Amino acid sequence: MELNAIIRTLLQRLLQLIPVLLGISVITFALMHLTSGDPAEIMLRADGIKPTYEAIEAARIALGLDGPVYMQYVHWLYRVLHLDLGISYSSNRPVFTELMNRFPATALLSGCSLLAAILIALPMGVGSALYPGKWFDRLGRVCALFSVSMPGYWLGLLLIYYGSVKLKLLPVTGMDGVSSVILPAFTLGFGMAGVYIRLIRSSLLDVLATLYIKAARAKGLQEWRVITRHALRNALLPSLTLLGVNIAGLLGGSVVVETIFSWPGIGKYVIEAIFAKDYIVIQGYVLWMAVVVVLINLAVDSLHLMLDPRIRLR
């Protein structure tokens, strides 16, 4: 594949973003208007008093909710085309600023969780594949079982109880220095690791049985070279695809873990917006996430091209 071809593919994928974003925004807009509750009324009720009819009307006009639904969508779209995601109903602040204020916290937690998942899954997966049926493999199996079956809120609370209350090693909650990211990152990372342990194990076992590994060994290469250079590089490709999906999920924010650990991330913010029917925030978030997912898929595909010459040849 020539450089030109690669650039063309990239551009094509980026252009595909436009119909994707349009479709997603129409669907979310329609879904939100189908669920019960009027944002103007919810906003006023949050103050604790049953608002009068006049108060609700005034709030509706102030929020731009007085016209027909399709006009509201057109207005919103017009603003977005001018790179303005709008102002949140509940906080009166620009949605883009609100999202970007919270995104670094979520990105940090995502990065650390990913690191934790890799640090757990890679050694366990490789070890399990090298000694199938032995104690390390069994340990990997138990680990994977716990990883997929323990819900995040339970593991999170257990970790806080033992790590913070009993041993007093780490802070209970909040985002405050390196020590505070350890527990939430481990909670999220451990939850993801199980699948990778099994995936790495099975694909490594497959690769180890191939002829080119036999050839590598026959050349007299040291075993660790055979495994790292020849086997792992091929065995990790399936995990890479899954990783793309997981990263996108992480960047969307984890409501449960962010809530338990009081992490000031994007997930908790969006859940609150959904309950408050803050259309503007939800629309902004959905757009943002659509862009993130498409870009990450693009990055994963490019990585595949780099790592696997066979795809490049096609």
Q: What is the footprint of another protein within residues 26-45 (CB under 8 A)? A: 35-37, 41-42, 44-45
Q: What angle do CA 181, 187, 193 make, to 5 degrees?
A: 120
Distance of closest approach, residue 60 Cβ to another protein, in angstroms: 10
- Residue 2 vs 47, nearer CB to another protein: 47
Cα-trace Rg, the chain: 24
Taking CB under 8 A as the criterion, which residues in 114-153 touch another protein? 116, 119-120, 123-124, 126-127, 130-131, 136
What's the Cα-to-Cα distance from 49 to each of 42, 52, 60, rounded to whole Å? Answer: 11, 9, 17
The answer to the question of residue 77 lying near another protein (CB under 8 A) is no
Distance of closest approach, residue 55 Cβ to another protein, in angstroms: 5
Distance of closest approach, residue 4 Cβ to another protein, in angstroms: 43
Site string for another protein, 164-193 (x = CB under 8 A): xx-xxxxxxxxxxxxx--x---x-------
Q: Are 198 and 188 in contact (CB under 8 A)?
A: no
What sign does the dihedral 77-82-85-89 (CA atoms) show?
A: negative
Beta pairing partners, 56 = none
Distance of closest approach, residue 298 Cβ to another protein, in angstroms: 31
Site string for another protein, 268-287 (x = CB under 8 A): xx-----x-x----------
Q: Two tokens at 94?
A: 């620009």
* Cα–Cα distance, 100 to 94 (Å, whole number): 10
The answer to the question of residue 210 lying near another protein (CB under 8 A) is no
Distance of closest approach, residue 8 Cβ to another protein, in angstroms: 42
Q: Two tokens at 177?
A: 């220095």
